[in-house]
């Protein structure tokens, strides 16, 4: 990791903690795994104010491009749960992909998928955060 730990913007941290606290008991195990990953990541993340955030950190509303080892790119916008729209490449921060990239930076490598079938993806580019920030 470029910065030694995940870096989360303070507002994103608050939104994620509230969501985690309201979804403690889920029956959907895939979703539960993503929430557990988020919770674990938030425990050790460096939380910064908006003005102190580096430009290459994945935040809610960032546009992210990931690349596989075979150089296949996929670009999506990381959004809050209520704004998820997979056909339009808007991926929820509470999905497995979203939980894997939030707080990471350009050139970080993530493992995506179940352990037996996971693939390595490199974060190639992080675009600016849209003006419609998620409010707490």
Which residues make beta-bridge pairs with 102? none
**Can you list the positions of beta strands (E) in 10-135?**
46-48, 63-68, 73-79, 90-92, 109-112, 119-126
Mean pLDDT check: name the lowest of 73-82, 85-94, 114-123.
114-123
Q: Is residue 60 part of a domain?
A: yes
Task: Compare 101 and 29 and report the one with higher pLDDT.
Answer: 101
Q: Name the residue with higher pLDDT: 24 or 63.
A: 63
pLDDT in tens, 63-81: 999 999 888 999 999 999 8
**Coil vs helix vs strand at 89:** coil
Exposed (0-12), middle (13-18) or buried (19+): which is 94, by Cβ within 10 Å? buried
CATH number for position 92: 3.10.50.30
Report the percentage of the chain scoring pLDDT > 90: 60
Enter the pTM of the model.
Answer: 0.86
Q: What range does the domain containing 36 cover? A: 7-126
Look at residue 103 and tell me if it is in a domain: yes
Measure the CA–CA gap between 26 and 4, rounded to whole angstroms. 31
- Is position 1 within any domain? no
Count up the domains in the chain and report the number.
Answer: 1
Q: How confident is the model at residue 134 (pLDDT cuts 50, 70, 90)?
A: very low
- Helices of type H across 10-114: 10-22, 29-44, 96-101
Of the chain, the percentage scoring pLDDT greater than 70 comes to 88
| Res. 59: pLDDT tops 50 | yes
Q: Is residue 134 part of a domain?
A: no
Q: Which residue has the tokens 């409010």?
A: 135
46-48/63-68 β-pairing: unpaired
Count of CB atoms situated within 10 Å of the CB of 10: 14
- Domain assignment of residue 136, yes or no: no
pLDDT of res. 18: 87
Handedness of CA 101, 103, 107, 110 (dihedral sign): negative
Kindly indicate the confidence band of residue 83, based on its pLDDT and cuts at 50, 70 and 90: very high
């Amino acid at each position: 990791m470029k910065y030694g730990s995940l870096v989360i913007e303070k507002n994103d941290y608050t939104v994620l903690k509230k969501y985690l606290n309201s979804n403690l008991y889920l029956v959907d195990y895939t979703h539960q795994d993503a929430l557990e990953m988020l919770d674990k990541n938030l425990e050790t993340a460096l939380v910064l104010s908006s003005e102190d955030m580096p430009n290459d950190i994945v935040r809610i509303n960032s546009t992210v491009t990931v690349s596989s080892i075979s150089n296949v790119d996929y670009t999506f916008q990381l959004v809050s749960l209520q704004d998820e729209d997979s056909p339009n490449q808007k991926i929820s921060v509470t999905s497995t992909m979203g939980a894997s990239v939030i707080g990471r930076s350009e050139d970080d490598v993530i493992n995506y998928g179940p352990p037996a079938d996971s693939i390595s993806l490199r974060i190639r580019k992080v675009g600016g955060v849209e003006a419609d920030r998620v409010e707490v």
